[in-house]
């Protein structure tokens, strides 16, 4: 039996890979102020990014069902955390979610799928908005969608090999599930633009350009994820949102926004708060 709803909108923030909830502190405080929330209405917990994104998303959904908010939920995720939020939103708003997982999940461990099937997922919770910041919404399946940092991490075999969450980014197994879900939740995707030639480029060959060409990254990008992967309107596979998602990149105001600082950028805080406020 679920507990009575708590006051206000429940703001959920999920961090990215190799990170934790502490790193999202600036984003948490900025959104609390802009949305007039108190600490009880913000969920900024750390999750196990080495586990599958599918399982993390379902566990988040189950936690929100156990303690529903009176005025609905807003989900905000940075990088991998954005995919966790997408899964949670599907689990909360698509009554066919478990059937979709059972039918289309390939490449996942049986233990993960059994745990998901045992999870109590109710219906009727309102998710007012999903926002993803620098999230590889089409995955990091190509060489060009991974940075020097990501490739360096890839060399650390013990870490990389045991991370099922990373496997979700580098294969299509998660996206093959999401494309069969259907949710009416409004979605905003925001990408960084540190590698935007239109603003930075002077026509000369710089070390920055040589690095980009070596890594085969399409501009604009944030040095880790390409804009085309963040932008759900250009999704490689069909996505779950029945209302067309909105994509934002601020070339003028955010030319220095990188993957590692997008969640600390004031212009991004304003975009996120305005989108949540208009859909609450």
Beta pairing class for 187-190 and 246-248: parallel
CA 201 to chain centre: 29
Contact partners, residue 54, CB within 8 Å, separation at least 6:
87, 101, 105, 108, 112, 116, 168, 174, 177
CA 11/CA 9 separation, integer angstroms: 6
Other C-beta atoms within 10 Å of 42: how many? 20
- Quick check: 56 pLDDT over 90? yes
Closest CA to 252 of 199, 185, 216: 199
Give 99's pLDDT tier (boundaries 50, 70, 90): very high
Question: What residues does 69 pair with on adjacent strands?
Answer: 6
pLDDT at 157: 46
Q: What is the DSSP string of 191-235?
A: ---TT-HHHH--SS--HHHHHHHHHTPPSSB-SSSBHHHH-GGG-
pLDDT at 212: 52
Q: Evaluate the omega torsion of the peptide bond into residue 163 and state whether it is cis, within 30 degrees of 0.
A: no
Strand order in the sheet with 246-248: 42-43, 10-14, 73-78, 127-133, 187-190, 246-248
More confident residue, 55 or 144: 55
Kindly list the domain boundaries of the chain, sorted by start residue.
10-275
Lowest-pLDDT choice from 67-71, 141-145, 178-182, 215-219: 141-145
Q: In this predicted model, what pLDDT tens digit does every residue of 7-21 receive, in sequence order?
A: 567 999 999 998 999
Instruction: Supply the mean pLDDT for the chain.
Output: 84
Q: What pLDDT is recorded for position 257?
A: 85
Strands 246-248, 73-78: parallel, antiparallel or unpaired by DSSP?
unpaired
For the entire predicted model, the pTM comes to 0.89
- So what CATH class is 10-275? alpha beta
**Is pLDDT of 214 > 80?**
no
Span 159-200, pLDDT tens digits: 445 688 988 988 899 999 999 999 999 999 999 887 765 555
């Amino acid at each position: 039996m679920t507990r009575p709803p708590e006051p206000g909108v429940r703001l959920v923030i999920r961090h990215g890979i190799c990170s934790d909830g502490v790193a999202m502190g600036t984003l948490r405080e900025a959104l609390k102020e802009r949305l007039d929330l108190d600490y009880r209405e913000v969920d900024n917990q750390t999750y196990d990014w080495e586990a599958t994104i599918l399982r993390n998303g379902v566990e988040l959904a189950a936690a929100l069902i156990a303690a529903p908010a009176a005025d609905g939920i807003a989900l905000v995720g940075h990088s991998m955390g954005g995919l966790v939020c997408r899964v949670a939103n599907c689990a909360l708003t698509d009554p066919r979610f478990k059937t979709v997982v059972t039918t289309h999940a390939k490449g996942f461990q049986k233990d993960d799928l059994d745990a998901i099937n045992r999870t109590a997922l109710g219906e009727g919770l309102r998710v007012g908005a999903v926002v993803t910041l620098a999230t590889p919404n089409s995955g990091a399946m190509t060489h060009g969608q991974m940075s020097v940092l990501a490739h360096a991490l890839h060399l650390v075999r013990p870490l990389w090999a045991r991370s099922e969450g990373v496997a979700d980014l580098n294969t299509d197994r998660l996206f093959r599930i999401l494309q069969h879900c259907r949710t009416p939740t409004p979605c905003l995707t925001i990408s960084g633009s540190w590698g935007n030639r239109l603003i930075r480029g002077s026509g000369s060959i710089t070390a920055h350009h040589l690095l980009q060409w070596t890594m085969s990254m399409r501009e604009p990008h944030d040095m880790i994820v390409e804009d085309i992967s963040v932008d759900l309107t250009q999704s490689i596979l069909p996505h779950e949102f029945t209302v067309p998602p909105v994509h934002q990149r601020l070339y003028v105001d955010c030319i220095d926004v990188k993957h590692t600082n997008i969640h600390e950028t004031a212009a991004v805080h304003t975009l996120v708060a305005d989108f949540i406020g208009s859909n609450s």
